[in-house]
Amino acid sequence: MCLLGAFSEQVDLVLKLNQVVTPNVPDIQVVPPEDDHLRHLIDTMAMYVLDDGCAFEQAIMERGRGKALFSFLFDLTSIEHTYYIWRLYSFAQVILHLGILAYFFTFWLSMDGTKWLKPGPV
């Protein structure tokens, strides 16, 4: 299942504005990649995944396996992967006509109460 599909399964994706729901769960600070080329690649890929769906993401994962440029798709603990997930979600919120709130505010991505903090200027 691709990451976009995981979003559709999470019915409880709720935008919260800096409220602490679960104080014992550490926040996730989203940090954009320092490499401008990589950041552009992740931003562009997130837009294509939203437009073309899971099949596009799976095709890129198959072709990109073993290539350093696409390691953010496989290393789920990397800051680049965290940025990719945040970018997918923030772009999806704009597309879903919820405005650009996900870009400017903190949001919860899962039911465990983890707070994802927006990156600085992107």
Over residues 10-36, mean pLDDT: 64
**Which residues make Cβ contacts (< 8 Å) with residue 39, sequence separation at least 6?**
32, 33, 83, 122
What's the pLDDT score for residue 51?
Answer: 86
Q: Are 60 and 72 in contact (CB under 8 A)?
A: no
Q: What is the CATH number that goes with domain 27-117?
A: 1.10.10.790
Give pTM, 2 decimals: 0.67
37 has pLDDT over 90: yes
